[in-house]
């Protein structure tokens, strides 16, 4: 049980994951096809977590996630919805990267699986919460606030990517 709860909270334990969930929630909320884009994210997340369960090796998931976050933040700032297939592909890649970057912090196989399930539910819930809230932001100042948050997240992600590159951590 504690492993499941640990997994539920894991998306909120990593700053890069919080940024990604927030910006993709805003992106999904801005999009007309919110169900399909959020479904793509959750499916990608499930694939990433399943890969962890099958003991996939080290991947550059955090760099991919940050790049996707920067791109999504820029798109939120522009407030120009992407074509549905492109939006689904982007959210699926972000979900996959987030899943791959969420290895369970436990030795037991059963607890590890419970954590992965918890992470899937937790990240999915946070995305759904943010996306649902963002879909109600229809007044001009609310839409503007959404765009400003997207811009700030994109700027943060771009700086982090540059830092990781400068420190030799990118794709390490």
Partner 1 sequence: MNTDHQPHVIAFATAALLLIVACAPAFAHTGSMRGGFVGGFAHPLFGPDHVVAMVAVGLWGAFLGAPAIWLLPIVFPLVMAGGGVIGILGIPLPGVEIGIAISAIVLGLMVMLAAKPPLLIAAALVGAFAIFHGYAHGAELPPGADAVAYSVGFVVATGLLHLTGIAFGLVARWPAGRIAVRAAGGAIALAGVVFLTAAT
Select 84 or 135, whichever has its Cβ closest to partner 1: 135
Q: Assign residue 29 a region: left if phi > 0, alpha if psi is -120 to 50, beta otherwise? A: alpha
Q: How far is the CB of 166 from partner 1 (least distance, A)?
A: 5
- Beta-carbon contacts of 164 under 8 Å, excluding residues fewer than 6 positions away, are 62, 63, 66, 170
Element (H, E) at 159: helix 140-166
Select 50 or 79, whichever has its Cβ closest to partner 1: 79
Q: How far is the CB of 77 from partner 1 (least distance, A)?
A: 5
Closest by CA position to 123, among listed 159, 154, 153, 94: 94
Select 51 or 164, whichever has its Cβ closest to partner 1: 164
For 139-165, letters b (16+ CB in 10 Å) and e give eeeeeeebbebbeebbebbbebbeebe
Residue 139 DSSP class: S
Q: How far is the CB of 145 from partner 1 (least distance, A)?
A: 10
Q: How far is the CB of 100 from partner 1 (least distance, A)?
A: 17
Select 2 or 133, whichever has its Cβ closest to partner 1: 133
Give the residues lining the site for partner 1 (CB under 8 A).
Answer: 9, 12-16, 18-19, 22, 74, 77, 126, 129-130, 132-134, 136-139, 142, 144, 147-148, 151-152, 154-160, 162-166
Q: What is the C-alpha separation between 112 and 92, in angstroms, rounded?
A: 23
Q: How far is the CB of 163 from partner 1 (least distance, A)?
A: 4
Select 53 or 155, whichever has its Cβ closest to partner 1: 155
């Amino acid at each position: 049980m504690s492993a499941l709860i640990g997994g539920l909270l894991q998306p909120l334990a990593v700053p890069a994951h919080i940024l990604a969930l927030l910006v993709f929630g805003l992106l999904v909320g801005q999009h007309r096809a919110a169900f399909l884009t959020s479904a793509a994210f959750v499916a990608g997340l499930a694939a990433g977590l399943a890969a962890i369960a099958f003991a996939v090796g080290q991947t550059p998931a955090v760099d991919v996630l940050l790049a996707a976050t920067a791109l999504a933040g820029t798109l939120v700032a522009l407030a120009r919805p992407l074509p549905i297939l492109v939006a689904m592909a982007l959210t699926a890649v972000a979900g996959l990267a987030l899943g791959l970057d969420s290895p369970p912090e436990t030795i037991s196989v059963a607890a590890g699986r419970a954590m992965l399930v918890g992470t899937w539910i937790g990240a999915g819930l946070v995305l759904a919460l943010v996306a649902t809230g963002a879909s109600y932001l229809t007044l001009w100042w609310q839409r503007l606030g959404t765009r400003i948050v997207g811009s700030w997240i994109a700027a943060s992600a771009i700086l982090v990517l540059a830092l990781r590159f400068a420190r030799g951590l990118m794709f390490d």
